[in-house]
Structure 1
Amino acid sequence: MKSVSRSYLFGVMLLVVSLGLGCKSTESEKPDKPTRAQTPVEKYGKLSIVGPRVVDQTGKAVQLRGMSLFWSQWQGGFYNPAAVKWLKDDWQVTVIRAALAVDHGGYRQNPEVEKQKVIAVVEAALKEGIYVIIDWHDHEAHKHIAQARAFFGEMAQRFGQYPNVIYEPYNEPLENADWAIQIKPYHEAIIQEIRKHDPDNLIVCGTRMWSQRVDEAADNPIRQPNIAYTLHYYAATHKQELRTIATKAINKGAALFVTEFGTCAADGNGKVDAAESKLWWEFLDQHQISWCNWSVADKDEAASALRPGASVNGQWTAADISPSGQLVRQELLNKAKLEKAQP
């Protein structure tokens, strides 16, 4: 009988305590709201150049990684918000490049059509909180300075208030172009137009020989703040020799940005060179150089991230992704996971 009484009393005490705790929780505690991960732009904010590095709003070096879209007039279907969102969510990109085609039926022939494709990508990037490169995809841009000035003036006026935006005024100047006489003066004219409306977002300037001779730009730099220089490579073609040129430029204080690279040969075909691609990624990581892979396209060539017939709206399965796309996507996911694990 004594044992029963103690059990009874212990049960009553537990009931009282639990009721008290329940009342306290109801009165003073509210369920936590689900947390939302920071977007890249929320995390890094306005970018700038300090020495040979791109740095975030706190002055810490930052390395963006992402994808470049293909020439807008030939693969324009991918210039849509669903594709941008899928690349951000599923591929973990922090930057996307909108390659505005200028010739070959592009902006010079159809300015409003092609411009709207770029605007759609920029607006999607703003919504998703990732960075976006507005690329004047032209191999002879210095011959089209009036059109480029008008375009970049409009883009800077429209989007210059947002930290997401990066400008690329000249894609891959040709081998016979001259940095001092043609390329640099062109950049300076476009920079002047952009800065009328956008005083400080990054501008990435193309260099001679399909944006490989960054050493020439380092020897004769553009004397403006927040300027980086474009370095392009294709892993199966451009190897240690180009990395040596890049190192020379970095050692002279030039900030580099790989706005386009391929895992294959420079003509967009051949086998995917996984070994050389990894050597390049190690080099870019070592120097904290941002990059975009060429390209989000379903063209039947090795450089395309997607296989022919893939949806333009994302939702890609493994069967939709090319060998190059698989390699690049895995690198994006691996690096995103590492960065999330860092304090």
Structure 2
Amino acid sequence: MPLRIARAMLVMAAPLLFATAAWASTPVGDHGALKVTGNRIVDSHDKPVKLNGVSFFWSNTGWGQEKFYNSAAVATFARDWNVSVVRAAIGIDGSGGYKEDPVAGRTRAEAIVDAAIANDVYVIIDWHSHHAETDPQLAVDFFTAMARKYGHTPNVIYEIYNEPLREADWKTTVKPYSQTVINAIRAIDPDNLIVVGSPTWSQDVDIAAADPVTGGNITYTLHFYAGSHKQDLRDKGDAALKMGASLFVSEWGTVNANGDGDADAAETTRWQTWMQANCLSQANWSVSDKKEGASLFKPGASATGPWTDTDLTPSGLLVRDILKNASTSCNGD
């Protein structure tokens, strides 16, 4: 082909290429800033929205899964798995946690947030602890820094307490802690979503809904593992919704609550049906190649992707198929 003809064809094709790029649909591009209206999360067009995605494993140094905290992994999930949200589970306690190494913890959080913004998906910044109430100032300082850096973006969602334990009292312990952190975030970022945990590993959403924290654009996280949690936990979720609370399933698994065991496909389907009916966003646990049932990947899988069927665990295959067929529309459109 003569060079002048090739150049002419390229010039003619360029507007189409630019137009295609401009029209590309992305989760944040489609929905914009999120807010809570009644017991629903809605988008910038006031339409109910349901995010679908994955949660990274504890970010702790030396635990083996921090390798997944990279931009390429987020890009692969966004491109190949149809995710609209990723969750950075910033491990606070234990060896290699944020308390011990805050620089590494913040670096990993920012790696996931920056990658989510670059890929135009939502991102949950998760204070991944079971004892956060013992040091509220540490959380205040962290979320203050995150709000200052990212509060202007519509992508960011703050999860201020992953899973308070069963013995943590809502009224005297978890609620005051949550209110303190909420107030610190709201002093900088007035409107991005804040996700609040509740006692019993974020299952007591009905107790929290009966005595809610103060503030707007607040949603409560409900965590479940299909191998252990059945209709009785869905009943607690229904009770919270009836009281007017918004719910967000920021962590769920196909297996037992200890993270191991076989994937319970039948109960996972029941949970998916319930979440769709109630327009609840979800993030699956976990982006990991640890040898346990909840891991998406088999040991030795690439930390960046792309991933093939042979890289995935039974749970990973099930979750990938759920996500690839999921919609952000609550009507399934």
Task: Indicate whether the TM-score tops 0.5.
Answer: yes
Moved more, 92-101 or 333-342: 333-342
Give the alignment's TM-score, normalised by structure 1: 0.89
Offset at residue 274 of structure 1 (A): 0.1
User: Is the counterpart of residue 214 in structure 1 residue 201 in structure 2?
Assistant: no
Query: What is the distance in 2 between the residues matched to 1:310 and 1:322?
Result: 10
User: Is the counterpart of residue 315 in structure 1 residue 306 in structure 2?
Assistant: yes
Task: Give the unaligned 5+ runs of structure 2.
Answer: 1-7
Query: What is the distance in 1 between the residues matched to 2:16 and 2:327?
Result: 25
Listed as ranges, the matches of 1:65-80 within 5 Å are 65-73=52-60, 74=63, 75-80=65-70
Q: Which residue of 1 aligns with 2:285?
A: 294
Query: Cα deviations across residues 43-101 of structure 1 (Å, max 9, x unaligned)?
Result: 00000000110000011000000000000012111000000000000111000000001
- The alignment yields a C-alpha RMSD, in angstroms, of 1.7
Q: Please, which of 172, 180, 184 is the counterpart of residue 181 of structure 1?
A: 172
Q: Which residue of 2 aligns with 1:96?
A: 86
Q: Which residue of 1 aligns with 2:43?
A: 56
Q: Which residue of 2 aligns with 1:226?
A: 217
Moved over 3 A (4+): 29-32, 336-342
Query: What is the distance in 1 between the residues matched to 2:328 and 2:37?
Result: 26
Q: Which residue of 2 aligns with 1:22?
A: none
SS of 1:242's partner is: helix
Query: What is the distance in 1 between the residues matched to 2:188 and 2:29?
Result: 22
Count of residue correspondences: 315
Give the alignment's TM-score, normalised by structure 2: 0.92
Q: Please, which of 22, 26, 33 is the counterpart of residue 39 of structure 1?
A: 26
Query: Cα deviations across residues 295-314 of structure 1 (Å, max 9, x unaligned)?
Result: 00000000000000001111
Is contact 2:52-2:85 (8 Å) kept? yes
Query: What is the distance in 2 between the residues matched to 1:338 and 1:65?
Result: 10
Offset at residue 223 of structure 1 (A): 2.1
Task: Give the unaligned 5+ runs of structure 1.
Answer: 1-25
Amino acid at match of 1:90: D
Q: Which residue of 2 aligns with 1:140?
A: 131
Query: What is the distance in 2 between the residues matched to 1:162 and 1:210?
Result: 29
Query: What is the distance in 2 between the residues matched to 1:84 and 1:230?
Result: 22
Q: Please, which of 68, 80, 86 is the counterpart of residue 76 of structure 2?
A: 86
Offset at residue 107 of structure 1 (A): 0.3
Amino acid at match of 1:64: L
Greater RCO, 1 or 2 (C-alpha within 8 Å, sep 6+): 2
Query: What is the distance in 2 between the residues matched to 1:243 and 1:340?
Result: 20
Cα distance change, pair 192–291 in 1 and its aligned pair in 2 (3 A) = same
Query: What is the distance in 2 between the residues matched to 1:339 and 1:308?
Result: 35
Give aligned-pair identity as a percent: 47
User: Is the counterpart of residue 242 in structure 1 residue 225 in structure 2?
Assistant: no
Is contact 2:124-2:158 (8 Å) kept? yes
SS of 2:228's partner is: coil
